[in-house]
């Protein structure tokens, strides 16, 4: 597995990969360097399992497909930036099933090897820099783009330059021995990322617990196709929490949709709605039914 991790991060990656290899069924694959928010999600949701860092989403998914990890923890959307790019293509193509979800409150920290007064620049992922831009402007710090937050922290620690800091998680600061100069520096206090857990085998949610179902479908090329396809959810009282369209393979003729609903096909109203959906579409692919992690109004 090749990567461009900074040296301090690579040392941790090598150690974590070696440990996970001994009991792969206990490994949870995630994208990014140790200390990434995906790593934080793994530690929160699976405190007794082994985090397995991977350079890309594809690598994390492939680790599960190949049996090097039991499950993968993949970010799907952020409260500020919407869906994660390409994830709605990767999920159905992976052949894996969503078996859970987890929400991480993103609390950015200002990290450095010295004190705040010595800082002149800070590294981080462009999205993270955008999420703290008002604080950076107030402090007179110049942003420097880096490919991910945790790697930025590892690079800043490795350079040892008091003038160069990083924006990343508290976990990244602790892993790379950086000083936490300020915490909660994001401009929006609702900054939250939703993750899904992917497994080779589907695991139906226990009956009686609030559930979610994620699926893709392609409408037929006829007038009012989407209206007809979704009508069964309204008549059966099934709440649609997400509906996003996208085009595939350069075709503008028929849109594909990614949708999420409350409930599972084991519940009669959902089963009836899904049956009506199938009647008005070319195909439907259920990616997974799983226990709901929290109220969508939270």
Q: Which residues are catalytic?
A: 193, 195
CA distances from 182 to 38, 80, 112, 136, 280 (A): 21, 21, 10, 12, 53
Give the contacts of 211 (CB within 8 A, at least 6 positions apart).
205, 262, 263, 264, 267, 289, 290, 291, 292
CB 95, CB 44: distance < 8 Å: no
Q: Alpha-carbon distance 214 to 212, whole Å?
A: 7
The alpha carbon dihedral of 256, 262, 264, 270 has a sign of negative
Q: Alpha-carbon distance 70 to 217, whole Å?
A: 27
Q: In 3D, which of 60, 98, 68, 132 has the Cα closest to residue 259?
A: 98
Q: How far is CA 136 from the centre of its chain?
A: 26
Q: In 3D, which of 18, 42, 21, 24 has the Cα closest to residue 32?
A: 42
Q: Alpha-carbon distance 257 to 170, whole Å?
A: 37
Give the contacts of 137 (CB within 8 A, at least 6 positions apart).
none
Token pair belonging to 25: 């069924």
Q: How far is CA 49 from the centre of its chain?
A: 18
SS3 22: helix
User: What length does the chain have?
Assistant: 298
Token pair belonging to 289: 């039914």
């Amino acid at each position: 597995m090749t990567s461009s991790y900074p040296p301090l991060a690579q040392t941790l990656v090598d150690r974590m990969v070696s440990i996970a290899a001994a009991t792969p069924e206990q490994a949870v694959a995630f994208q990014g360097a140790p200390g990434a928010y995906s790593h934080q999600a793994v530690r929160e949701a699976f405190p007794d399992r082994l985090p397995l860092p991977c350079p890309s989403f594809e690598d994390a998914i492939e680790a599960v497909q190949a049996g090097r990890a039991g499950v993968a923890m993949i970010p799907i959307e952020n409260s500020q930036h919407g869906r994660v790019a390409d994830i709605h293509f990767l999920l159905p193509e992976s052949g894996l099933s969503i078996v859970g979800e987890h929400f991480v409150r993103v609390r950015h920290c200002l990290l450095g090897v010295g004190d705040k007064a010595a800082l002149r620049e800070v590294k981080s992922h462009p999205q993270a820099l955008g999420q703290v831009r008002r604080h950076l402007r107030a402090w007179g710090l110049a942003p420097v783009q880096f490919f991910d937050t945790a790697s930025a922290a590892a690079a800043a620690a490795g350079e040892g330059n008091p003038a160069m800091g990083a924006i990343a998680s508290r976990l990244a600061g602790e892993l790379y021995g950086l000083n936490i100069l300020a915490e909660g520096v994001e401009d929006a206090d609702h900054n939250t990322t939703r993750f899904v857990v992917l497994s080779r085998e589907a695991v139906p949610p226990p009956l009686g617990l609030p559930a979610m179902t994620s699926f893709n479908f392609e409408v037929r090329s006829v007038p009012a196709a989407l209206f007809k396809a979704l009508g069964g959810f309204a008549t059966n009282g099934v709440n649609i929490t997400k509906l996003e369209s996208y085009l595939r393979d350069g075709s503008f003729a028929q849109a594909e949709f990614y949708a999420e609903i409350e409930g599972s096909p084991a519940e009669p109203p959902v089963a009836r709605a899904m049956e009506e959906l199938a009647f008005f579409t070319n195909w439907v692919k259920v990616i997974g039914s799983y226990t709901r992690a929290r109220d969508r109004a939270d």
